[in-house]
Amino acid sequence: MKIKSQDGRHYNIVKVYFKAHYYGDLFMGRNIYGESPKGRKYLLGTMDTDIEAHQIVNEIQKLMAKGISTYSIPEPVEEYEAEAIIAELEAKMQ
């Protein structure tokens, strides 16, 4: 599968996975990696939570199994954007 990373690069990937990334003792997020047919590892993107990273990896694996040829790693949502979305949803619910 051809995957577009968060930084806009395209990679031919046959396997995806994620793992926690730390800088010293500081947790930085969950890195999503892809592996090429020759076994080379590429950083495809970083998510804030385990749930987000797991969801993306599962989605890619299901699409690969169905023979889908392309995928783009989603951009992370900034905290202020998330707060605006939540406020909008709360307003609709009242």
Q: What is the mean pLDDT of residues 66-82?
A: 82
**pLDDT at site 89:** 82
- Of 34, 38, 37, nearest in space to 9 by CA: 34
Q: Domain count of the chain?
A: 1
Percent of the chain with pLDDT over 90: 68
User: What whole-number distance in Å separates Cα of residue 19 and Cα of residue 46?
Assistant: 10
Q: How does DSSP classify residue 75?
A: P
pTM: 0.78
Residues 6+ apart with CB under 8 A from 16: 3, 32, 33, 34, 35, 44, 57, 60, 61, 64
pLDDT band (50, 70, 90) for residue 78: low
pLDDT band (50, 70, 90) for residue 91: confident
Domain that holds residue 76: 2-93
Please check the confidence at residue 41 and state whether its pLDDT lies above 80: yes
